[in-house]
C-alpha cells in the first residue's frame, strides 16, 4: 500500500488564519518525505489532488531554496530540513555531548555506532561514529526506518509512558495488524525489563543490532545503537560490546543531566 500525504481538509479547518501557498509547499515536503523513490511533477500533482498550475511554481521555488532536488526521473527531498534540525540548540547540545562518548565507544569495541531519535512514525539516525577497524558496517546520518520495524525504535518505544506509546502507535506506517502490534508491545516490554535490546537485524543479514536507551528520568530521549558485525579473528564478544554500549548510553544521559541539556 502506498503512503499518502494528508492535506488539510478546509471544510473541517477552523483556524483563524490560513496561508494557502505555504500549505502547498508543506504538502509537497511531507509527501516527498515519505516516498522512497523520486516523484515527477505529474505524480506529485496526482497524489496531492491539486492542479499543475498550483504546484509547479511551488516546486521550482523549493528546488531553488535547496529543499528538493531532481534525481533521475523526478524530485526528492534533500537533507536541507535535516541540516536545519541539527542546528537547533537541543540537537546541537546532544551532538556536543554524545560524539566524544561515541568516538571512545567505537574505538574500544571495534564496531561502529549511531544515535537515533524518534520522528513521528520513524526513527532517524542523527549522528554516527565509524568503526576503527578495516572492515565494518555503519548507518548513514539521516537513515530513516519505521519505528516499529527497528531495534532502535523498539528501544525508544520501550522506555515511554503509555500515553506516548499510544500516540506513536497512531503514527505507525505501514500500520501493523493486531498480531504484529501485540508482538511489538511484548518485545518492548522485554527490552524494558532487561534494559537494552539485542536482536538480529531485520534489514541486513549477518548483523546483530544492539541498542540501549539514553534516558531522561525513566524515559528514552534517544537510542544508542551498534550494528554488530561478527568477523573472523580476534574481536570483542557481543556480550561485552553490549555492556560497553549500555555504559556509553548511561554516560551520555548523565552528561545531559549535568549540563541540563534538552532533547
Q: What is the pLDDT of residue 108?
A: 94
Which pLDDT tens digit goes with each residue over 205-223? 889 999 999 998 899 999 9
Q: What is the pLDDT of residue 86?
A: 60
Q: What is the pLDDT of residue 142?
A: 80
pLDDT in 10s for each residue of the chain, 263 residues = 455 555 544 445 566 677 888 888 889 988 887 777 889 999 999 999 888 888 988 999 999 898 888 887 899 888 677 666 666 656 667 778 899 999 999 999 999 999 999 887 889 888 899 887 767 788 888 888 899 999 999 999 999 999 999 999 998 888 999 999 999 999 999 999 999 999 999 888 889 999 999 998 899 999 999 999 988 777 899 999 999 999 999 999 998 887 765 55
Q: What is the pLDDT of residue 247?
A: 97
Is the preceding peptide bond at 151 cis, omega within 30 degrees of 0? Answer: no
Q: What's the sign of the alpha-carbon dihedral 25, 26, 29, 32?
A: negative
Which pLDDT tens digit goes with each residue over 73-90? 899 888 677 666 666 656
Spacing of C-alpha 85 from chain mean position: 12
Scanning the structure block, which residue is given the C-alpha cell 490560513?
A: 18
Q: What is the pLDDT of residue 88?
A: 62
Spatial neighbors of 93 by CB under 8 A, at least 6 apart, are 256, 259, 261, 262, 263
Amino acid at each position: 500500500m502506498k503512503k499518502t500525504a494528508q492535506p488539510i481538509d478546509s471544510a473541517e479547518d477552523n483556524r483563524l488564519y490560513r496561508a494557502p501557498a505555504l500549505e502547498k509547499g508543506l504538502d509537497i515536503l511531507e509527501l516527498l518525505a515519505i516516498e522512497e523513490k523520486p516523484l515527477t511533477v505529474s505524480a506529485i500533482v496526482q497524489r496531492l489532488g491539486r492542479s499543475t498550475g498550483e504546484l509547479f511554481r511551488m516546486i521550482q521555488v523549493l528546488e531553488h531554496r535547496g529543499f528538493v532536488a531532481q534525481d533521475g526521473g523526478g524530485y526528492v527531498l534533500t537533507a536541507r530540513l535535516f541540516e536545519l534540525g541539527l542546528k537547533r540548540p537541543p540537537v546541537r547540545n546532544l551532538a556536543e555531548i554524545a560524539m566524544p562518548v561515541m568516538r571512545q565507544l567505537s574505538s574500544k569495541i571495534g564496531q561502529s555506532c549511531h544515535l537515533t531519535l524518534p520522528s513521528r512514525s520513524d526513527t532517524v539516525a542523527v549522528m554516527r561514529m565509524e568503526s576503527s577497524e578495516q572492515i565494518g558496517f555503519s548507518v548513514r546520518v539521516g537513515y530513516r526506518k519505521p519505528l516499529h520495524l527497528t531495534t532502535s525504535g523498539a528501544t525508544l518505544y520501550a522506555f515511554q509512558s503509555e500515553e506516548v506509546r499510544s500516540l506513536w502507535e497512531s503514527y505507525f506506517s505501514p500500520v501493523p495488524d493486531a498480531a504484529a502490534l501485540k508482538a511489538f508491545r511484548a518485545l518492548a516490554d522485554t527490552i524494558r525489563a532487561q534494559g537494552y535490546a539485542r536482536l538480529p537485524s531485520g534489514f541486513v543479514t549477518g548483523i546483530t543490532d544492539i541498542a540501549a536507551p539514553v534516558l531522561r528520568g525513566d524515559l528514552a530521549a534517544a537510542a544508542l545503537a551498534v550494528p554488530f558485525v561478527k568477523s573472523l579473528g580476534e574481536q570483542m564478544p557481543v556480550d561485552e560490546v553490549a555492556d560497553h554500549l549500555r555504559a556509553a548510553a548511561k554516560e551520555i544521559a548523565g552528561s545531559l543531566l549535568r549540563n541540563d541539556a534538552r532533547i
